[in-house]
A and B are shown apart, each in its own frame.
Chain A
Amino acid sequence: MGQVKADMQGAQATGSSARTPADRPLSPHLQVWRWHVTMLGSILHRVSGVALYFGAFIIAAWAISLAYGPEAYDDYMGLMGSWFGKLVLLGLTAAAFYHLANGIRHLVWDTGRALNPKLADMTGIAVIVFTVLATAATWWVALIADVI
Chain B
Amino acid sequence: MTSYKTDLKRAKGYGAAKHGSGHWLTERLTSVALVPLGLWAVWSFLRVAQWEYAGAVQWVREPVNAVLLVLTLAISFHHMHSGMRVIVEDYIEHKPTHFGLIFLSGAASLLAAAFSIFAVLKVALGASVADIATITAAGA
Partners in one complex: yes
Tell me which of B1, B7, B80 contacts A53 (CB under 8 A). B80
Identity of the chain B residue whose Cβ is nearest the Cβ of A145 in the assembled complex? B50
> Which positions 85-139 of chain A face chain B at CB distance < 8 Å?
93, 96-97, 100, 103-104, 106-107, 110, 138
> Which positions 10-45 of chain A face chain B at CB distance < 8 Å?
12, 18-19
Task: Note all chain A residues with C-beta closer than 8 A to B118.
Answer: 67
Q: List 17 A-B contacts (CB under 8 A).
A: A18-B3, A46-B87, A56-B80, A59-B73, A59-B76, A60-B73, A60-B77, A63-B117, A66-B123, A67-B119, A77-B49, A97-B42, A100-B38, A103-B31, A107-B28, A107-B31, A110-B28
Tell me which of B35, B46, B60 contacts A141 (CB under 8 A). B46
In the complex the two chains form, is A67's CB within 8 Å of B123's CB? yes
Task: Note all chain A residues with C-beta closer than 8 A to B115.
Answer: 60, 64
**Contact-residue bracket for chain B:** 35 or more
Given contacts A18-B2, A53-B83, A100 and B39 within 8 Å (CB-CB):
yes
Residues of chain A having any CB pair with chain B under 8 Å: 12, 18-19, 46, 49-50, 52-53, 56-57, 59-61, 63-64, 66-67, 69-70, 73-74, 77, 80, 93, 96-97, 100, 103-104, 106-107, 110, 138, 141-142, 145-148
Given contacts A49-B83, A60-B115, A138 and B49 within 8 Å (CB-CB):
no
6 nearest A-B residue pairs (beta carbon): A60-B116, A67-B119, A63-B119, A70-B53, A63-B116, A147-B49
> Which positions 106-140 of chain B face chain A at CB distance < 8 Å?
108-109, 112-113, 115-120, 122-123
